[in-house]
Homo-oligomer: A and B are copies of this chain.
Amino acid sequence: MSMDIIDRKLLELLQADATMPIAELAQRVNLSQTPCWKRLQRLKEAGVIRAQVALCDARKLGVGTTVFVAVRTNQHTETWAAAFTQAVRDIPEVVEVYRMSGETDYLLRVVVSDIDDYDRIYKQLITAVPLYDVSSSFAMEQIKYSTALPVRPAVTVTNNG
């Protein structure tokens, strides 16, 4: 799938605001509506654009506190991993989960209303699946949160690196 500078500009715009009408998108990239629309179809079909969603205000939903949870396991088995995966996917307060290299086996981002609320999720988690070690760090402030991925040309290979 080719991705020229116009496609990248479209992705940039749509990642910032997906309500923008095609007419406006088109003129921002100096195109008429039809080719612009065709590019969007192509990007969707290729799965580059994988969804269009509403973003909510975490504080207004009463989950303004983020907790990072570092998890270690002593059961390095496929069945444990499957159970853990299922458990975290089933808890909506757990919004991000990564399997890590290094000391920590898994890193979770959990959104809650306060410390007591976190304790509720913590208990839910350790009840659902056995954890060897759990270490929680609270975020004091969210300085940046972006769902927009960087859209840039394929890294150019040069000889003077």
- Which residues from chain B contact A92 at a C-beta distance below 8 Å? 146, 148-150, 152
A62 touches B154 (CB 8 A): yes
CB contact list, A72-109 vs B, under 8 A? 85, 88-89, 92-102, 104, 106-107
Contact B49 A52 (CB under 8 A): no
Known: A93-B150, A94-B144, A98-B142. A60 touches B85 (CB 8 A): no
Q: How far is the CB of A60 from chain B (nearest CB, A)?
A: 5
Could you tell me if B49 and A55 are in contact, using CB atoms closer than 8 angstroms? Answer: yes
Size of the chain A interface, CB-CB below 8 angstroms: 65
- Please report A residues at the B interface, Cβ cutoff 8 Å: 1, 11, 14-19, 46-58, 60-63, 66, 68, 85, 88-89, 92-102, 104, 106-107, 111, 113, 117, 137-152, 154-155
Report the nearest B residue to A153, measured CB to CB. Answer: B62
Q: Which residues of B contact A117 (CB under 8 A)?
A: 155
Once A56-B11, A147-B53 are accepted as A-B contacts, the answer to whether A104 and B137 lie under 8 Å apart by CB is yes
Contact across chains for B17 and A51 when beta carbons are under 8 A apart: yes
